[in-house]
Structure 1
Amino acid sequence: MNKLDTALLNLLIKDGRTSFADIARQLNVSRTHARARVQAMVESGVIEQFTAVINPEKLGKVISTFIDLKVAPIAIEAVADDLASKPEVVSLYIMTDLKSLHIHTLTDSYETFNSFVNENLFARPEILAIESSALLKRVKHRRGGARL
């Protein structure tokens, strides 16, 4: 990765639909070169996918909750895989202590969140502890990935 690649990625992070012609103009390179650099980053795995960023509130998903679970280490992968398949879970991470999961959920109401917790967390003996906090106010968030 060089400075040009970093600048190109930052343009795509800001707007993944930016045309190669616009990228070329902004970076003072040819359209062919811009396309080739993007293709090379796709092939090398630097760019994993192009996607849309959805505003969950516009879809009625107004309850944003962060959950920290302590899980029996032997069950962490199975619990993570199962929870990751749930539509309420928008991100899920296994933490370095290898017994914690950090989860972000989006639901349309506290009642829906409560149902999710009752059905997917409370009844599982391999989950040893649960902490959760609902989002009060979004101050800074990343859209489209890390800024380079």
Structure 2
Amino acid sequence: MNKLDTELLNLLIKDGRASFADIARQLDISRTHARARVQDMVESGLIEQFTAVINPEKLGKTISSFIDLKVAPRAIEVIAEDLASKPEVVSLYIMTDLQSLHIHTLVDSHETFHKFVSEYLFSNPDILSVHSSSLLKRVKHRRGGARL
């Protein structure tokens, strides 16, 4: 990746709906060149998808929690796949110790969160421990991916 590609990606991260004409104008390149560079990045897999960033508060999803689980290593993949399928789970990561999951949930109320943990976490004997914290205040967050 060269400097132009980095600048192009940063423009798309900021506004994935930017037209090729707008991108070209900001980078002082032709519209055809801008389109070709984006298409190359899509074809190479560098750009995986274009997506919308949703404001969860506008959907009534105001309780953002982070959960760290210790699980029986033999069950980590099954538990991860099962939890990842739940609508409350925004993101889920298997950590390097191969017995921990880091989960971000987003729900509309503490009652909904309690139902989620009761139904899917506390009832699973392969989940050995649960640590949860809810978001108090966002100070810095990513919108649309990593800044390059």
TM-score (norm 2): 0.99
Q: Which whole-Å deviations, capped at 9, do the CAs of 1:46-69 have from their partners, x for residues lacking one?
A: 000000000000100000000000
Map 1:52-67 to 2 at 5 A: 52-67=52-67
Residue of structure 2 in register with 1:107 after alignment: 107
Using the aligned pairs only, state the percent identity: 82
Contiguous gaps of at least 5 residues in structure 2: none
Alignment of 1:5-84 (within 5 A): 5-84=5-84
RMSD value, Cα: 0.4
- Tell me the equivalent position of 1:138: 138
Q: Which amino acid aligns with 1:13?
A: I
2:4 paired with 1:4 = yes
Q: Structure 1: which 5+ runs fail to align?
A: none
1:118 aligns with 2:103: no
CA shift digits 1:64-93 (9 cap, x unpaired): 000000011111010000000000000000
Mapped partners of 2:42, 2:119: distance in 1: 39
Q: Which AA in structure 2 matches 1:93?
A: Y
Q: Partners of 1:45 and 1:73 in 2: how far apart?
A: 31
What is the deviation of 1:31?
Answer: 0.4
Equivalent position amino acid for 2:145 in 1? G
Letter of the 2:133 partner, please give it. Answer: S
* Distance apart, 1:39 and its partner CA: 0.4
Residue 98 of structure 1: how far off its partner (Å): 0.6
- SS of the equivalent of 2:105 reads strand
Taking the aligned partners of 1:92 and 1:42, their CA distance within structure 2 comes to 25
